[in-house]
């Protein structure tokens, strides 16, 4: 399908219902039990690093970044990344990814973690984490734990936790 020049802007509070609806469509009601969702539970996503892509006034896609810790190292968890089914394969996912990663780099963030398909995310500089180097507080397929170092530095190691040291 033909790529589109998407209009992307920061997510604001009025987008929340539409963003939640995209997540419900993409991941269903079981999403709250997923480890990545549980890590984000109770932690607000970064308002300066969460974006929506619009088709007219409709939210067609969304990406969020949330502060986490990997061991003692501050990092970001990327996700959910969602595109409405009718807008898939038109470049919106890519545009949201590059927008969010550029913004994170500009903000001085250095590490981005996500749980997802390597085949999609390696296009944006994500790599598989060596087995056991980064542990998540719940079940996850290790082949889907991916990290990008925005400054080219060494990958952090350790347990993923909420910022401010909150327990799970």
Contacts with ligand COA by CB under 6 A lie at 26, 79-83, 88-94, 116-117, 119-120
Residue nearest ligand COA (C-beta atom): 93
The per-residue b/e assignment along 8-32, b for 16 or more CB within 10 angstroms, e otherwise, is beebeeebeebbeebbeeebeeeee
Nearer to ligand COA among residue 53 and residue 156 (C-beta): 53
Q: Do 71 and 159 form a contact (C-beta atoms < 8 A)?
A: yes
The per-residue b/e assignment along 113-124, b for 16 or more CB within 10 angstroms, e otherwise, is bbbbeeeebeeb
Q: C-beta of 130: minimal distance to ligand COA in Å?
A: 21
Q: C-beta of 82: minimal distance to ligand COA in Å?
A: 4
Nearer to ligand COA among residue 26 and residue 103 (C-beta): 26
Across 11-92, where does the E strand assignment appear?
A: 51-55, 58-70, 73-83
Q: C-beta of 136: minimal distance to ligand COA in Å?
A: 14
Nearer to ligand COA among residue 88 and residue 105 (C-beta): 88
Q: C-beta of 106: minimal distance to ligand COA in Å?
A: 21
Nearer to ligand COA among residue 29 and residue 108 (C-beta): 29
- Three-point CA angle 119, 123, 129, nearest 5°: 65
């Amino acid at each position: 399908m033909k790529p589109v020049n998407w209009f992307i802007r920061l997510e604001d509070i009025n987008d929340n219902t539409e963003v939640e609806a995209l997540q419900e469509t993409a991941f269903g009601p079981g999403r709250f039990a997923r480890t990545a969702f549980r890590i984000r539970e109770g932690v607000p996503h970064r308002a300066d690093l969460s974006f929506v892509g619009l088709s007219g006034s409709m939210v067609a896609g969304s990406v969020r970044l949330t502060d986490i810790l990997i061991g003692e190292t501050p990092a970001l968890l990327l996700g959910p990344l969602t595109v409405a089914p009718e807008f898939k394969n038109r470049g919106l996912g890519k545009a949201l990814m590059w927008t969010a990663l550029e913004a994170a780099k500009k903000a001085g963030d250095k590490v981005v973690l996500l749980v997802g398909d390597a085949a999609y995310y390696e296009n944006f500089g994500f790599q598989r984490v060596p087995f056991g180097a980064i542990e998540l507080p719940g079940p996850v397929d290790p082949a889907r734990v991916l990290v990008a170092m925005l400054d080219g530095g060494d990958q952090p190691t350790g347990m993923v936790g909420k910022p401010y040291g909150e327990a799970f």
